[in-house]
Structure 1
Amino acid sequence: MRFSTTIAAVAAATLPFASAFHQGFNVAATNLDGSCKTTAQWKTAFQKLHNLPQQISKVRLYASSDCNTLANAVPAAISTNTKILVGVWTEDQAHYTAEKNALEAAIKAHGSDWILAISVGSEDLYRGDTDANTLANQIYDVKGMVHQWNNKKVGHVDTWTAWVDGANQAVIAASDFLGMDGYPYFQNAAIADAASVFWDSVQATQNVAGGKPVWVTETGWPVSGPNSGAAVPSVANAKKYWNQVACQAFKEIPIFWYAYQDFGASPSFGIFGKGGKKIYDLAACP
């Protein structure tokens, strides 16, 4: 089913904390050699995104403490006027505590204007790493921690299949927004069907969101890797998926494309290759 302009209008109406639909990219904290990005390297990444025809100024980062993500990335974000969808890992108590402490330290050091929103956990429900009530309590916990400094929205990122699972309703209730990951590639869709498969997953998530805003936090098409059913990775197909999905989604729903780079991954979804050049053209959308 095509995501209609009527649904888009509903999405806009349920997004009071944004004046326009966010256009962003997922950016990992590691370099090609596995080392952690320095502040200078974060700045380079953010500037590359700003220099795209779409002038991307929003990014999703997966962690707060790992690789000193926020300690290194926030100064770069401030200097480039980039807003961050912050990730807080929830797995194991020590890691979760370190993540909260890193977020708290970044806010104390730099204020909170650089924060777009906060995601507590990423695909925990899909992986079966936790239960909905435990995750919901962690979302409330982070809300309580950051409330004293700002009114940023706090939600969770998971696959669309996890969101439509009725067993996870407690997480929907706790979240200010639903971050939805949807990949037609992993649903074995041919590139000719990919756009409709993607919008079906958006609609399915909207249907269970209870009027809360749905953000697409991950989608993309691999440039290389194994076939997944009828889904064939290639540069040409990745470009087709960008033209068919990204260009329309940017007009209709907050979206964070996957990914800026993903060195060594198979399948690989990265837009920028090892030499820092675009793997395929991201020409301005009509």
Structure 2
Amino acid sequence: MRFSSTLTALAAALPFTNAYWKGFNVAATNIDGTCKTTAQWETAFTKLAGLPQDITSVRLYASSDCNTLEYAVPAAIATGTQILVGVWTEDSAHYTLEKNALEAAINAHGSDWIVAISVGSEDLYRGDTTASALATQINEVRTIVRDLGVTQQVGHVDTWTAWVNSTNEAVITASDFIGLDSYPYFQDAAIGDAYDTFWDSVTATRDQVAAVSPGKWVWVTETGWPVSGPDYGDAVASVKNAQTYWRSVACSAFESIHVFWYAYQDYGASPSFGVFGDNGDAIYDLYKC
């Protein structure tokens, strides 16, 4: 399936709206491994808001780690940023800390800063849990936040291969939204094929979701191309290819689906998907599409 037919079908299935979330994944740690302070969160959010795309939403991976919500939520409120909240589900002690941190943030700051809540991240892809256990956790977190008056959607983030696996249908049923992580780089796609590979993963996920639980939106919660790192088949990590991927995928996705780009910074990782370098400057041109 080529891009033209894929995107046409996708656009036809979406509600008529231009109100798509445009965000970045942002880690809670700094280059030296220390946890971000509220001031450092505010610096990150301000930098993203200053991009030509007017990025005013972010995805955070956890709630309690590094006191993420305790420090990030005041910064988000101060900068007009909204958060796709992550609740880590493993292990049970960590999961309890995550729920407590989320509840504390809502009690302290209300819920206007919340985009949605993701319970777990790629748990099914890693094989760390079962679909039924994860569905139970999604429903539990939804009950907790509904009792606090929060109406935002509660869902899960995973790879497209996990979503199209029929054994995971319980998670689709339990989720209000479907968070999709799509990386053509890890599918060994050459940069010239990455555009179509990305949209094919979106379409495959959307079709499976529609078959199991019609009417639920698929969000792209992670995608990007690495600026450095090893080759995967025909996929080559480079600044040039990351720029090309942004020019093609970001510029189409931002206009047609909720997207959270990976990643704001990615210090020392290999491959490294970080868009902003150690000096705080963008590694490639994030021009307005």
TM-score normalized by the length of structure 2: 0.96
Match of 2:185 in 1: 185
Structure 1 residue aligned with 2:261, among 239, 257, 262? 257
Maintained 8 Å contact 1:46/1:80: yes
The CA deviation at 1:208 is: 0.8
1:57-206 to 2 correspondences below 5 Å: 57-148=56-147, 149-206=149-206
Is it true that 1:24 corresponds to 2:23 in the alignment?
yes
Which runs of no fewer than 5 residues in structure 1 stay unpaired? none
SS of 2:139's partner is: helix
**Runs of 4 or more consecutive aligned structure 1 residues displaced over 4 Å after TM superposition:** none
Instruction: Return the alpha-carbon distance in structure 2 between the equivalents of residues 104 and 8 of structure 1.
Output: 36
Match of 1:241 in 2: 245
The CA deviation at 1:226 is: 0.4
Instruction: Return the alpha-carbon distance in structure 1 between the equivalents of residues 219 and 271 of structure 2.
Output: 23
Instruction: Return the alpha-carbon distance in structure 1 between the equivalents of residues 18 and 7 of structure 2.
Output: 20
Maintained 8 Å contact 1:11/1:214: no
Structure 1 residue aligned with 2:222, among 205, 208, 218? 218
SS of 1:108's partner is: helix
1:260-271 to 2 correspondences below 5 Å: 260-271=264-275
The CA deviation at 1:276 is: 0.3
The CA deviation at 1:4 is: 2.3
Provide the aligned C-alpha RMSD in A: 1.0
Which runs of no fewer than 5 residues in structure 2 stay unpaired? none
Instruction: Return the alpha-carbon distance in structure 1 between the equivalents of residues 168 and 128 of structure 2.
Output: 13
Match of 2:7 in 1: 4
The CA deviation at 1:7 is: 1.9
Maintained 8 Å contact 1:89/1:99: yes
Identity of aligned residues (%): 68
Maintained 8 Å contact 2:7/2:199: no
Match of 2:279 in 1: 275
Instruction: Return the alpha-carbon distance in structure 2 between the equivalents of residues 24 and 61 of structure 1.
Output: 10
The CA deviation at 1:5 is: 3.5
Match of 1:43 in 2: 42
SS of 2:254's partner is: helix
Instruction: Return the alpha-carbon distance in structure 1 between the equivalents of residues 239 and 144 of structure 2.
Output: 43
TM-score normalized by the length of structure 1: 0.97
SS of 1:77's partner is: helix
SS of 1:12's partner is: coil
The CA deviation at 1:6 is: 4.2
